Structure 1
Amino acid sequence: MAPMSNADYLTRIKYADAYEALREAKKASGLTYKELAEKVGVSKMWLASVFDGQQYVPEEYAEKIAAALSVPVEKLAFLTEHPYKGNTDPILYRLHEVIDTYGPAIKAIIHEEGGNAIMSAIDFGLDVDVVTDAEGNHRVKITMDGKLLPYAKKGKYPW
Structure 2
Amino acid sequence: MTTRAELTEKIIAHKVFNDIKWADVAAAVGQSKEWTTAALMGQISLTKDQIAKVDNAMGINFSDEEVALLMTVPYRGSLPTAVPTDPLIYRLYEVVNVYGTTMKALIEEEFGDGIMSAIDFTMDISRTEDPKGDRVKIVLDGKFLPYKMY
TM-score tier, shorter chain, comes to 0.7 to 0.9
What's the TM-score, normalizing by structure 1? 0.74
Segments ≥4 residues shifted beyond 6 Å: none
Structure 2 alignment gaps of length 5 or more: none
- Sequence identity of aligned pairs in percent? 35
Structure 1 alignment gaps of length 5 or more: 1-9, 155-159
RMSD: 2.3
SS of the equivalent of 1:124 reads: strand
Residue 146, structure 1, aligned to residue 142, structure 2: yes
State how far apart, in whole Å, the 2-side matches of 1:26 and 1:142 are.
23
Corresponding residue for residue 56 of structure 1: 45
Q: Is 1:118–1:149's contact at 8 Å kept on the other side of the alignment?
A: yes
Deviation readout 1:77-105 (Å, 9 max, x if unpaired): 13223334222422111111101111111
Corresponding residue for residue 101 of structure 1: 98
User: Amino acid of the residue matched to residue 43 of structure 2?
Assistant: Q
SS of the equivalent of 2:115 reads: strand
Corresponding residue for residue 74 of structure 2: 83
Pick from 30, 35, 40 the counterpart of residue 29 of structure 2: 40
With 76-85 and 112-121 compared, the bigger mean Cα shift is at 76-85
Q: Is 1:124–1:146's contact at 8 Å kept on the other side of the alignment?
A: yes
Corresponding residue for residue 22 of structure 1: 11
Residue 69, structure 1, aligned to residue 54, structure 2: no
Note closer, same or farther for the CA distance 1:39–1:29 as it changes in structure 2 (3 Å cut). farther
The CA deviation at 1:41 is 0.8
